[in-house]
Amino acid sequence: MFLIEVLIPIIIYYVLKSYTDWLADNSSIPYIIFVFLGGIYYLYIMLFLYQAWIDYYLDLWIITNERIISIEQQGLFKRTTSELRIHRVQDVTSEVHGFLPTIFKYGDVHVQTASEQERFNLLQVPHPDEVARKIMALQEKYVEEIGLPPSEVFEIKKSSEKDEAKPV
């Protein structure tokens, strides 16, 4: 897709040169406009690529034995930092979707918590299966060593009571 975008002005140049005489004179108005538009087009493609790279490069996820911290850069003026305590992790899904992610072994990791909150998403991370396994292992270790906090136990009990109360 990117290659097509890069080739567009070159294709237009050869089509115009072959079928019209607009670009024949190096100092004619159509030639000047074409060169300026082409230059601007390539400059802004570069800018778009650089911005996309920054968006990716400034995304950061820190996984410790107590919490998962997500720092996400969204566009130029939005930066979100969120934190999730590891004991709140309920299940973790890793997803490798598409040709390039399969070849280069990267994908998304979705972390589901006990609450009804939005999933915690780690996007385009290398080796997502390994990351998912690591998070689950850390969660199990945390619960084994420290146990769930009383508020969390209460919440789980409450939700299981609710499930039991449902008519079958």
Partner 1 sequence: MAIPYYIFLIIYLLTVLIFFALSVLNFYHIIRFGYFRLTSVFVTFLYLGAAVVIILLTLNALANVDWAANIEFGNYQITT
Choose which of 1, 4, 76, 100 interacts with partner 1 (CB under 8 A): 76
| 26 scored as a contact of partner 1 (CB under 8 A) | yes
CA 152-87-105 angle, to 5 degrees, is 145
Q: Does residue 73 bind partner 1 (CB under 8 A)?
A: yes
**Binding-site member from 51, 65, 74, 80 for partner 1 (CB under 8 A):** 51
Q: In the complex, what is the shortest distance from the CB of residue 77 to partner 1, in angstroms, rounded to a whole number?
A: 9
Cβ atoms 86, 139 nearer than 8 A: yes
Nearer to partner 1, 48 or 154 (CB): 48
Are 83 and 94 in contact, with CB atoms under 8 Å apart? Answer: no
The answer to whether 36 contacts partner 1 (rule: CB under 8 A) is yes
Q: Which long-range contacts (CB under 8 A, 24 or more apart) does 1-10 make?
A: 2/49, 5/45, 6/42, 6/45, 8/41, 9/37, 9/38, 9/41, 9/42
- Closer residue to partner 1 in complex, CB, 14/36: 36
Rounded to the nearest 10 degrees, the angle between the axes of helix 2-19 and helix 29-57 is 180
* Choice between 28 and 102, CB closer to partner 1: 28
Can you give the binding site for partner 1, defined by CB under 8 A?
A: 26-27, 29, 32-33, 35-36, 38-40, 42-44, 46-47, 49-51, 53-54, 57-58, 73, 76, 79
